[in-house]
A and B are shown apart, each in its own frame.
Chain A
Amino acid sequence: QKEVEQNSGPLSVPEGAIASLNCTYSDRGSQSFFWYRQYSGKSPELIMSIYSNGDKEDGRFTAQLNKASQYVSLLIRDSQPSDSATYLCAVLNSGNTPLVFGKGTRLSVIA
């Protein structure tokens, strides 16, 4: 059973702080890792993808991957109230199986 684990939250951070969202996965064969943002009542939106160990930065977002520890994280710098949403971690392994989603972490940025 391929599993992706996330803390459901809510994670509350003050405006301007760094929000750190974490995800662990069970399948060592996993190759691709994605973060989706989902506002309440809306569909998931892809915000980051990462495929190799290390950090990947895109604007205020940084994804971090450590395959040895089977751990992927998302950092949001200078958090804004508009970042308040549920963040879904999704993992793809090397086979033809579809994405496996975590249950999501609800982030609340307090103004």
Chain B
Amino acid sequence: DTEVTQTPKHLVMGMTNKKSLKCEQHMGHRAMYWYKQKAKKPPELMFVYSYEKLSINESVPSRFSPECPNSSLLNLHLHALQPEDSALYLCASSQEGGMNSPLHFGNGTRLTVT
């Protein structure tokens, strides 16, 4: 069982909808991440939060809006998505700083945009 919890597990939304993905970790990690993964591809980094501040935005379109309300929570707000945004969205966390900081992934949210 993963210590990073993502909800919902599956989400179907239309192109005009607004929805949010949620992620929670209780490992005391200070860095949290959003990744997007298409079939047969490696995870693709979207955003990194470090100590609740956005530290990396990998030129993600503005229809994806991240939010980190506190050190344990990470949200991804979705608006006006396109069908090509359909993918597995992965949240991850890691200890901040130092080199021995592997990512711990949640189970992901399977998003389908119709």
Contacts and interface: CB of A to CB of B under 8 A. Distances in A.
Interface of A: 31-32, 34, 36, 41-46, 49, 51, 88, 90, 92, 94, 96, 98-99, 101-104
Interface residues on B, range: 20 to 34
Contacts, number: 52
B88 to A, nearest CB: 8
25 contacts: A32-B101, A41-B88, A41-B110, A43-B105, A43-B106, A43-B108, A44-B43, A44-B90, A44-B105, A46-B103, A46-B104, A46-B105, A49-B100, A88-B43, A90-B102, A90-B103, A92-B101, A98-B33, A98-B45, A98-B48, A99-B102, A99-B103, A101-B42, A101-B43, A102-B42
Nearest to A4: B42
Given A43-B2, A43-B108, A49 B42 contact: no
B90 A46 contact: no
A46 B100 CA distance: 13
A102 B43 CA distance: 9
B99 A92 contact: yes
A103 B41 CA distance: 6
A88 B99 contact: no
Given A43-B2, A43-B108, A32 B43 contact: no
A49 B102 contact: yes
Contact of B108 (A42, A94, A96, A101): A42
B107 interface: yes
